Chain A
Amino acid sequence: MATDDQGHEGSDVWEDFQQGYVPEDNLDIHPDLDLHEQYTKDIDTVTYEVLRHRLWTVNEEHGQTLENVSGSPVAYFGQDFNPTLMTHDGEVVFNGPYVQLFSPIAELQVKWILENRSDNPGIEPGDIFISNDPWVGSTHQPDVFFVAPIFVDGELFCWIANTLHQYDIGGKSAGSFVPGASDVFEESTPIPPIKAVEGGEVRKDVKQMYQRHSRMPDMVGLDFNAQVAGLQVTQEQIHDLIDEYGAQTVKGVMDRIIEDSETKFLEKIRELPDGTWRAREFMEGSKTGDDDLYVAELQLKKEGDTLTFTNEGSAKNEGSMNLTYAGFRTAISCAVNPMLLYDQLWVTSGAYRHIDIDTDPGTLNRAEYPSGVSCGGTLSIELSIALIYDVMTRMFSASDETRDEIITDPLAGLIVLSQAGMDQWGNPFGTMNLDVMGTGFGARTDKDGIDVGGILFSPKGKLPNIENNEQDYPMLYLYRRESEDSAGHGEFRGGGGMDSCFIPHNTEAIQTVVAGNGGVTPNTRGIGAYPGAPIRSRTVDGSDIEERFENQEIPGDIEEVDGDMETYPPKAEFVQGAIDVMETRSPGTAGYGDPLERDPEKVLEDLKEEIVSEEAANDIYGVVFDDDDERTVDEQATEDRREELIETRLAESTIPAEE
């Protein structure tokens, strides 16, 4: 690493590439780069509110431009993108309401660029950097960041960035999601921040290098244009704002937005006692074909205004199951934003000022190069988010101010289904089935979760219609519905996941890769309640489905179908033949409070809507029904049954300290 005559060194790039970039409080930026650091604190209430709304709108419009120009189904249906607005030194001012995972770590990209690109090749007006390096600041390689500085009178005023999930950016599996990888060399090669647009001109050499990574260079090129267009349109809008209100005022508003989020965060945190909260869950298999369990641990220590995360006891990084520092860092926002900062429009940067991450490198939740990380945007981050919820919801339980903000469970697992083959129109196809969006949504402290409520931190990610999937891929659904007994039982129950059952249709077979976690045990626990049901995938091979169709019969459940039933491990690879019936179950979410405390009428309602089975109603909720046509709760029998269950609980228990 060359040191120039002005003593600028940047960060330790090769250590960053090995362990993951962790910015210091003081960034080492080349002194020739002037930062716009002045701002006015003297902003009246009205100007503040007007500009705050305007900045939010500008950032949202940024997302819209991206979606418009791209037109890719990933952007449109999956809403798998997010725009971000940041200060000159990379603190996030606003991120859009799209996939939450992306934005907070645009901060890392910017800080790294400031430290390591400010002298060579330099940071100039009209530049755009691209990067997808998980050891710098990406969850995984398909999420490519485009990052642009905005200058005012020769000073770096602020940064804007956007991220868009790419169809394919290389690596051994189509789609660049490689659950079977042993290390990063089987995945797409990470691209650290490089300058792709120079003074407003696209660098053709860099663009071609980037497109050359992909199996679908045309589409990647189109998204490249979309991401650049989004930044350029937004750049103009920010300049208009600065012209109208002055740079000092706009910057002052940015500063206050972050300060407001910090105030809100601290106010709630200060109600809590100091302490340590711990979680322990499991990753099931380090890669496809591996059935071992890997332990993931997390400790959250609160001391005064500071929260510190450590991961003592976590398994070593191995296979493809790992998450880099950047992914873990952004996972925190998925808990802090919905529970503490919803009225600050999810501005996490104020909170990040008080969060330290002191995890051990070389572990599955702080992966070292060259371990596999392409599952970082899905499975590995899911596990970390789950652990963070586990510790945070317990910490929030310790104050009246924060307890009511608890949502028990973001995702107790995840099942990602990749399918490939020949489609019904005679073309090759490969897809990540978006049924993955059909997860449960966790319980609140005063109300149930939401059945098939979708991924908590992706509020705009819709589940596709059956007709969307059957149109685009050679499948025919037998059913898709809320999964029974999937909702974690509790006084307020979690939201249940979804069962999807389908056969290949107008094709010979579908190549199937299931990449899941939370299949043996779910990854979150809720509070004082039962966990949500794990994910599951199973098939009935060589089924009699054709005869059934012939007899005008559509099976109501996979277990009704005759053939060889096989239940798969959470990570599996197989071929679904033409008459093999497959069913997947997405995760349910945990409850809040003891199920014996639940209003029996609600249990009855859930029974009627097939959310809860009679077995669970009797044995877990202790609710007994009258055996008449219009089922009703037998109050006396319920009371007796609940007493009996309490007695059983105690009779079957021992007190560990007394053993």
Chain B
Amino acid sequence: MQIQKYLDLNEEELTISCRKCGETLCNADENYKEHSAMRTGPVTDAGPAFEPPKKLLGQDPNLEFRQFFCPSCGVLFDHEFAREDDPILHDIEVDVDSIKA
């Protein structure tokens, strides 16, 4: 089943894979982002319209722009802004038991 624009969840094998290239990323109960190719950069990597946080806040809250790609085909799965120490957000967690049932 499709669980996101670029992600499938295989109901037999209980894995998550890339819809573009079929690459299997991880088990269905894991955070796929931990198994994606993650690029980390400054906030300004989000586009020409972004300003360095320090310029706006007068201090640096250590924010970063994280992008998650398919490690095989490189398609952009998702992004998040986070402080350096923030864990990778587990934003999609399908209940594996409900699928098996």
Contacts and interface: CB of A to CB of B under 8 A. Distances in A.
Interface string A574-618: 000000000001001000111111000000000000000101100
B84 interface: no
Contacts of B98: 273-275, 303
Contacts of A653: 37-39, 67, 69, 71
A27 interface: no
Nearest to A597: B75
A597 B69 CA distance: 14
Contacts of A570: 56
B74 A528 contact: no
A277 B56 contact: no
Sort chain A's interface into a size bin: 35 or more
Interface in B34-51: 34-39, 41, 43, 46-51
Contacts of B97: 274
Interface string A379-405: 000000000001100100111100100
Contacts of B71: 650, 653, 655
A649 interface: yes
Contacts of A520: 43, 51, 53, 56-57, 61, 63
A622 B35 CA distance: 25
B91 A394 contact: yes
Interface string B1-39: 111111001000000000000000010000001111111
Interface in B43-98: 43, 46-51, 53, 55-59, 61, 63, 67, 69, 71, 73-83, 86, 88-95, 97-98
A87 B98 CA distance: 36
Contact of B94 (A275, A391, A594): A275
Contact of A528 (B5, B37, B48): B5
Interface stretch (A71-79, A278-286, A456-464): A278-286
A613 B48 contact: yes
Contact of A650 (B37, B78, B92, B93): B37
A398 B76 contact: no
B4 A293 contact: no
Contacts of A391: 91
A290 to B, nearest CB: 10
Contact of B63 (A279, A486, A521, A613): A521
Given A485-B47, A534-B49, A616-B48, A594 B89 contact: no
Contacts of B35: 655-657
A588 B75 contact: no
B78 A525 contact: yes
A284 B61 CA distance: 11
Interface in A493-548: 519-522, 525, 527-531, 533-534, 536
Given A653-B38, A653-B69, A567 B55 contact: yes
B50 to A, nearest CB: 7
B38 A649 contact: no
Contact of A273 (B26, B39, B99): B99
A546 to B, nearest CB: 28
A569 interface: yes
A276 interface: yes
Given A293-B61, A529-B76, A485 B48 contact: yes
Contacts of A174: none
Contacts of B88: 656
A449 to B, nearest CB: 15
Given A273-B95, A278-B89, A657-B35, A400 B56 contact: no
A324 B23 CA distance: 44
Contact of B78 (A284, A528, A654): A528
Contacts of B41: 652
A484 interface: yes
Nearest to A486: B49
A4 to B, nearest CB: 47
B37 A536 contact: no
Contact of B4 (A292, A528, A533): A528
A473 to B, nearest CB: 26
A489 B89 contact: no
Given A484-B49, A520-B57, A394 B4 contact: yes
A33 interface: no
A13 interface: no
A243 interface: no
A643 to B, nearest CB: 9
A530 B34 CA distance: 19
Interface string A260-299: 0000000000000111111111101000000111010000
B91 A400 contact: no
A165 B72 CA distance: 53
Contacts of A274: 94-95, 97-98
A524 to B, nearest CB: 11
Contacts of B90: 278
A235 to B, nearest CB: 47
Nearest to A398: B3
B73 A521 contact: no
27 contacts: A274-B94, A274-B95, A279-B91, A280-B82, A284-B57, A291-B59, A397-B92, A403-B2, A483-B49, A519-B56, A520-B43, A521-B43, A528-B78, A531-B47, A536-B51, A569-B56, A569-B57, A569-B58, A592-B5, A593-B5, A613-B48, A649-B37, A650-B74, A652-B39, A653-B67, A654-B38, A656-B88
The 8 closest A-B CB pairs, nearest first, are A653-B37, A533-B49, A274-B98, A646-B74, A274-B95, A521-B81, A275-B94, A594-B76
Given A275-B95, A615-B48, 15 more contacts: A273-B1, A292-B61, A293-B61, A295-B86, A390-B91, A486-B49, A519-B56, A520-B57, A520-B61, A531-B46, A616-B47, A616-B48, A650-B37, A653-B39, A656-B33
